[in-house]
Every structure is written in structure tokens, then in C-alpha cells.
Amino acid sequence: MSPKGPSDTALGKKSGKPWYREWGEAIGIALILALIIRTFLFQAFKIPSGSMEDTLLIGDHLLVNKFIYGIQLPWSDDRYLSLRDPQRGDVIVFEFPLDEDLPFYKRRDFIKRVIGVPGDVVEVRDKTVYINGAPLVLPQEVHKGPAYAEDPRRDNLVPVKVPPDRYFVMGDNRDRSFDSRFWGFVDKSEIKGLAFIKYWSWDREAHSPRWNRIGRSIE
């Protein structure tokens, strides 16, 4: 029988570290990986309002792809390795523009659908959205009360041109959405990512999961 070489015993050799040190290192590595994934790759969000009904319901939990529009370094507006720009119809999560002067821990995240991209002219007439003069028809659009606000901009908006690196967004439930009609455009640097899947859904009124929504893609 040939003598054992170093490779024969390496897997079975104990490190000699105390168990609590090994556990601490494993937990530390796991936390670092989780932080990297949350910062640069994917992040989970929960839907708190009905502004995106029926695409997203209160109690839906979703994942957001944070790298598709480019990896963004913390405390920086620069993006790297972008796969594509936001497109009309994308459901995006973004930092609420009117919160930009607040401390970072008080800033809110909103979720809406991209309606106008840079260069588009957006207009609303009698609740119908027009892009560059043509009606925009989306199957996800609904009008369900109670209305968000008795504000003339909700149903009628004069033509506005979307500036470079800005986006015009609206909720799918047009009557209950606080969106670009009221507060303006979303800067590309404020976009956190593309919502792409519902991984969990809880009906708080029925106190039960919505099994038919779990694992469904967001369109």
C-alpha cells in the first residue's frame, strides 16, 4: 500500500479553531454575502398600497433586479455594466424624488410603471394617456376608487416632454396613484431596479396566503 500524501488527509484535518470562532467566521461571511446581494443584485420589497392594482396587491412581496440598469455604488449616482436602460412598461422601484433632502433612513421607496422615456411627450386627456400624440393602451391599466385626489392633473395633464435621464411613471390603478402627474419625473440615478417576480403574497383580510400569485412574474 502506498503511503498517504498530503491530499489524502487534508479534508479530514481539523482546523484547530474553537467552535465559536468557526461559527463566527461562517456567520460573518454569510452576512457579507447577503449585504453584497442586497446592495448590488437583488432586493426584496413589500407592497403597502393599492396604487399598482391589479398587477400588485397589498401584501405582495416581490424581488427587484438591481443590476439590469447598471450596478450603482453606494452614495454615488454613477452606474456600471448596464444591461439596458429602463423601457416603457417596466415596473420599477425608485427612491421618491421629493425625499431627496431627507436623511437616507427616512427616504421612501415607490413602485410604479414607466410610461414615458427620455424624449417622449406625455399627455393625459380624460384619463387617456397619450405618448407622442398616440393613445397608450396598456392591459394592466385600471381605474378603481376611491380616487387618490380630486386634482385636475389626475385626469388631464398638459403635454410635457421627458428630459434626458428622466422617466415619467404612473401606477396601474390610475385613480389611486400618487405619481409623475403630481410630482414630476424620476431621475435615472433614483431608480433602484426592475421588479420581476412575486415570491410571496399574503391576504391580510383573509389571513391566508394567495397561493395563485406566488412565483408569478410581474408584467
Q: Does any domain span residue 11?
A: no
Residue 2 lies in a domain: no
Question: What is the structure's pLDDT at 26?
Answer: 80
Does residue 28 lie in a domain region? no
Q: Let me know if residue 100 belongs to a domain.
A: yes
Q: What values do phi and psi take at 166, rounded to 5?
A: -125, 160
Q: Give the CATH number of the domain where residue 177 resides.
A: 2.10.109.10
Q: How high is the pLDDT of residue 52?
A: 96
What is the predicted pLDDT for the residue at 142? 95
- Model confidence band, residue 146 (pLDDT cutoffs 50, 70, 90): confident
| Higher-confidence position of 10 and 215 | 215
Q: What average pLDDT does the chain have? A: 87
Q: What is the pLDDT of residues 28-72, one digit of tens each?
A: 777 877 676 666 678 899 999 999 999 999 999 999 999 999 887
Domain that holds residue 60: 44-217
∠ CA(95), CA(97), CA(101), 5° rounding? 100
pLDDT at 2 over 70: no
Q: Out of 2, 82, 112, 127, pick the active-site residue.
A: 112
pLDDT at 33: 75
**CA–CA gap between residue 89 and residue 112 (Å, rounded):** 10
Q: Who contacts 93 (Cβ-Cβ below 8 Å, separation ≥6)?
A: 43, 45, 64, 109, 110, 111, 191, 192, 193, 195
- Known catalytic residue at 198: no
pLDDT at site 8: 41
Whether 15 is covered by a domain: the verdict is no
Is the confidence at residue 212, as pLDDT, over 80? Answer: yes
204 burial class (0-12, 13-18, 19+ CB within 10 angstroms)? exposed
Please say if 51 is a catalytic residue: yes
Q: Say what the pTM is.
A: 0.83
Task: Kindly state whether residue 157 falls inside one of the protein's structural domains.
Answer: yes
Instruction: Tell me whether residue 24 is in a domain.
Output: no
Domain count, the chain: 1
39 within some domain: no
Of the candidates 14, 17, 46, 51, the residue annotated as catalytic is 51
Among 4-18, 55-69, 136-150, 156-170, the least confident range: 4-18
More confident residue, 45 or 4: 45
- Which of residues 113 and 150 earns the better pLDDT score? 113
